[in-house]
Amino acid sequence: MPIMIPDALPAAGILTAEKVFVMTESRAVHQDIRPLKLLILNLMPKKIETETQFLRKLSNTPIQVIVDLLRIDDHVSKNTPKAHLDTFYQRFDDVRDQYYDGMIITGAPLGKVPFEEVKYWDTLVEIMKWSKEHVTCTMFNCWAVQAALNVFYDLPKQTRTVKLSGVYRHRRSTSSDPLIRGFDDFFLAPHSRFANFETKYIEENTDLEILADSDETGVYLAVSPDRSQVFVTGHPEYDAQTLDNEYRRDINAGLNPSIPVNYYPNNDPQNVPLCTWKSHAYLLFANWINYYVYQNTPYDLETKRKPA
């Protein structure tokens, strides 16, 4: 079934050209169905690129999904036109009284920045706590995982000395949890982060169930006991070229980055990179939408509202 997005959103044209089933608002209003409501808090600088990546992965879902886009503040972006933000993004005050079936909080390029120095930290904490009462299931990605572990488990920021960048092999747990239903015993997923998520540290300091990890990356996928929160430390939403773009950006910035692991054929950046994680990524998001959101959310979202 399709994802439902505004007619004029740039992602609509991109995904339609890729033969992805996208339903615009003008068509969706004629369908008599209770669609899922999904909120994406986009913390990445290149918002159009990031929203398109997530929408692409959400396209293989079992039911129509309405997607709202949320911005954290009114900061003027160097990477996203103001007109795009004003047209397609909502502010927290616009949605704080609403209820959602699912929510995604993206990563952010803040791996080395202390939480207290993040300019929108207080607002992010408020939104994360709000999600516990207003969202059936929230997915945190990359840096947002680190932030959520601090907010909900009071864990200090854990940072790697060398950036983790590349496509890594992960092992699924022996759990029969539906979020990893259909996963191979070992699968590939990309990472691009300074945040550190050692498996033993997460096991000893949280009540999260770890569904997938690796020796190189630590925890990749974990869930809360009530399945209302999903923690994805990598970037399954990435396109084939995203790591390449980041690598060349860092070269141009004089950061002397390491070549992303297991990404370029023959480890040669002159070769066209391969996307070796696409099937896993689509399955992860489809399982999340189906089993963690659709199967658990109430038909009437207003039932989540607490009595006065």
49, 51, 237, 246: which is the annotated catalytic residue? 237
By DSSP bridging, strand 3-5 and strand 36-41 are unpaired
Residues 6+ apart with CB under 8 A from 197: 145, 146, 158, 217, 218, 219, 233
Binding residue per annotation — 59? no
Active site residue 137: no
Which neighbouring-strand residues pair with 6? none
Q: How many whole angstroms separate alpha carbon 189 and alpha carbon 214? A: 11
296-to-164, 182, 258 alpha-carbon distances in Å: 34, 20, 42
CB-count burial class (<10 Å; 0-12, 13-18, 19+) for 190:
buried
Which neighbouring-strand residues pair with 189? 168
Binding residue per annotation — 77? no
Which helix or strand (DSSP H or E) is residue 94 part of?
A: helix 92-95
Backbone CA torsion sign across 128, 287, 111, 226? positive
Q: How many whole angstroms separate alpha carbon 295 and alpha carbon 234? A: 25
Active site residue 142: yes
Binding residue per annotation — 249? yes
49, 134, 137, 142: which is the annotated catalytic residue? 142
Active site residue 235: yes
134, 170, 191, 235: which is the annotated catalytic residue? 235
Q: How many whole angstroms separate alpha carbon 233 and alpha carbon 107? A: 9
Contacts 24+ apart (CB under 8 A), 194-200: 194/111, 194/112, 194/159, 194/160, 194/163, 194/164, 195/111, 195/142, 195/143, 195/145, 195/146, 195/157, 195/158, 195/159, 195/160, 195/233, 196/158, 196/159, 196/160, 197/145, 197/146, 197/158, 197/233, 198/158
Q: Which residues are annotated as a binding site for substrate?
A: 163, 192, 249
Q: Which residues are annotated as a binding site?
A: 163, 192, 249
Please list the active-site residues.
142, 235, 237
